[in-house]
Amino acid sequence: MKTAANGFGKSVMDPSRREGWWNRRIVLMVYVALELVTVHSPAVLGTLELQLDEEQPAGTIVGDISAGLPPGITASLYFISDHEGTGVGSDLDIDESTGIIKTAKVLDRELRDRYNFIAVTMTGVTVEQTRRGSNEFLYLDLVVNAILDREKRSTYTLSLEAFDGGSPKRTDQMTLDITVQDINDNAPVFNQSRYHAIISENLQPGSNILQVFATDADEGDNGMVLYEINRRQSDPERYFVIDSRTGIITLNKPLDFEMRRVHELVVQAQDNATQPEVTNAFVTIHVRDYNDNQPTMTIIFLSEDGSPRVSEGAQPGQYVARISVTDPDYGEYANVNVSLEGGDGKFALTTKDSIIYLICVDQILDREERDAYELRVMATDSGTPPLRAESSFVIQVIDINDNPPLFDRPVYRQVIPEVVFPGSFVLQVTARDKDHGPNGDINYSILQDKGAYSNWFSIESVTGIITTLSQLDYEKNPNPSITVVATDGGKPPLSSTAVVDIVLQDINDNEPVFERNFYNVSIKENTDPGTCILEVSRVTQAG
């Protein structure tokens, strides 16, 4: 390919060869405008003539626009001006940054043998009287040679003047109003980069929380701002929703301060363009506690088996139970007051840190007086209205062996015949013990005293029934007396005694017996009649 550049120079060719050569060549004329040209001064143009064989594949390099610039002139950006129907936009691929021209498809000389367009550098707006139609009308090209910004200036008014070359010249003028159409070159801008709100955890779903606001300097759909919450980065549980048009953030479902106290939202504003611009803002929502949780209590009883019980021998100040109190609420609602009711003053509540409370014995206990006390512990927080937790339980008073068995009477008396068979019933003694369980179980026994003939009798250890153990003998002891012992099952055991007096009834169970088997008496012959000459005696046994 041959290139003619730097002005309007053309290459010279042999006429005989020129016809066939042109039959295969496509001519591309490029006019390179360097600065603002008005009708009062001729255009400063560089002309570049490029030629290319037809039927070359798409992407074939045709030339470089910068070759048409005057010496010493460079350009980093070109604005391409062509008209509909010229084929430039559809058949050629022009890089506006480098100025390289390539074919966009396979060109056919029979369909089009010439392409014309103007390339304008970054020097201003250029108007050229560039071509004249068959009807002798002069067509003008208005070229942008600086960056436009609709947001700074959306309209321009140009005054155009046309004049001929006569003398005097004849002129005509026209006013051209130019409206710059918007492109989506501005992203939405929030009125603040971070938003804050404080709400109560009892706020009802559907309540409005705050409104974000963003503006977009573009117009139409390019400037229409739509809002949404970025769920990938925040609030996947959808506690909050946002109105896409107004930017109002609304509570979507109930909050729980105890689960989360702060919610961070990423709100994005995007315009409604085909390729939208997006801007993010951050919303911090603090949840204020509401008294929606009642206190909780954990009670641990300090007995050996962990049951609610205390020994009746416990001294004042001895601990009975440990109570820990918590409240899931925060701040003032977590202040819990604990009180104790019941127990008839026998128990008291104490604490050192208002978290751990202890129930202790406050007065001496007596199981025989009362063996159980119903207590109620109440924990009340400081909310309005206050919430309360309570627990009721019964403290069992456990027996200790502090009471001995007591007989119904201190002395028992019974009359029986002296002749009864061994094992015969004599009487039954009864003792009672106020203690409980083994401490109140009673066993009976006879205190052994040989001189009292206690071995004549026996007693059944459980029932207290006294029976004869051997033959009784009135003549040996008409009033035998025994001591009965009642002993409980405590450790150590306690006991008491009672006396049983027994009166034996005599029966005729013995013959008379003389003191001697032989008596010898002497008497005078003159002894008067009636005189006692011998006195004999006999031993008479009772019965």
Residues 48-72: tens digit of each pLDDT: 888 888 899 999 998 888 887 777 7
314 in the same domain as 384 = yes
Q: What 3 state SS string does 73-126 have? A: CCCCCCEEECCCCCCHHHHEEECCCCCEEEECCCCCCCCCCEEEEEEECCCCCE
On the question of pLDDT at 314 being above 80, the answer is yes
Task: Please identify, among 398, 429, 460, the residue that sits at the C-terminal boundary of a domain.
Answer: 398
pLDDT confidence tier of residue 238, bands split at 50, 70 and 90: very high
- At 354 the pLDDT is 80
Q: What is the mean pLDDT of residues 316-333?
A: 80
Structural domain includes residue 7: no
Residue (of 475, 486, 485, 472) closest to 440 by Cα position: 486
Q: Express as a percent the part of the chain with pLDDT over 90.
A: 48
Residue 20 belongs to some domain of the structure:
no
Highest mean pLDDT among 13-17, 382-386, 472-476: 472-476
pLDDT of 242 reads 97
Residue 537 has pLDDT above 50, yes or no: yes
Residue 50 forms part of a structural domain:
yes
Same domain, 451 and 481: yes
Query: What pLDDT is recorded for position 127?
Result: 45
To the nearest whole percent, how much of the chain has pLDDT over 70?
A: 84
Chain centre distance of CA 377: 28
CA proximity to 147, closest of 88, 77, 89:
77
- Residues 391 and 419 placed together within one structural domain of the fold: no
Whether residues 267 and 306 share a domain: the answer is: no
Which of 265, 288, 311 is the endpoint of a domain? 288
pLDDT at 472 over 50: yes
Tell me how far apart the alpha carbons of residues 350 and 361 are, in angstroms, rounded to a whole number. Answer: 11
pLDDT digit string (tens) for 241-282? Answer: 999 999 999 999 999 888 899 999 999 999 999 999 999 999
Residue 121 has pLDDT above 90, yes or no: no
153 belongs to a structural domain: no
Please give the pLDDT value at position 403. 93
Structure tokens at 277: 């611009």
Separation CA 330–CA 333 (nearest Å): 6
Domain-terminating residue out of 379, 398, 417: 398
Is residue 303 a part of any domain in this protein?
A: yes
Residues 194 and 227 in one domain: yes
Using the predicted structure, report yes or no on whether residue 334 has a pLDDT greater than 80: no
pLDDT surpassing 60 at residue 19:
no
List strand residue ranges (DSSP E) for 180-292, in order: 189-190, 194-200, 208-211, 214-215, 225-229, 240-242, 248-251, 262-271, 278-288
Residue 380 sits in which domain range?
A: 297-398
Give the model's pLDDT for residue 315: 95
Looking at residue 291, what is its pLDDT? 65
Query: What are residue 72's DSSP bridge partners?
Result: none
**Is residue 481 located within the same domain as residue 426?**
yes
Total domains in the chain come to: 4
SS3 label, residue 220: helix
144 or 135, higher pLDDT: 144
Same domain, 316 and 270: no
The pLDDT of residue 468 is above 70? yes
Residue 519: pLDDT over 80: no
Whichever domain contains 268, its CATH number is 2.60.40.60
478 shares a domain with 435 = yes
| Residue 363 lies inside a defined structural domain of this protein | yes
**Is the domain of 194 the same as that of 217?**
yes
pLDDT at 42: 41
* Max avg pLDDT among 303-317, 450-464, 505-519, 527-541: 303-317
In a domain, 178, yes or no: no
- pLDDT score of 152 more than 70: yes
Q: Which of 288, 291, 256 is nearest to 384 (CA)?
A: 291
Residue 443's pLDDT is 97
277 and 343 within one domain = no
The chain-wide mean pLDDT, for the chain, equals: 83
Q: Is residue 13 part of a domain?
A: no
On whether the CB atoms of residues 496 and 405 are closer than 8 A, the answer is yes
Q: Report how far residue 178's alpha carbon sits from residue 59's, in angstroms, rounded to the nearest whole number.
A: 36
**Shared-domain flag, residues 210 and 274:** yes
Q: 479 and 439, same structural domain?
A: yes
Q: Is the pLDDT of residue 124 over 50?
A: no
- CA atoms of 449 and 362, how far apart (whole Å): 49
CA distances from 46 to 29, 68, 100, 123, 129 (A): 11, 5, 16, 14, 15
**In 3D, which of 511, 515, 531 has the Cα closest to residue 523?**
531
Res. 365: pLDDT tops 70:
yes
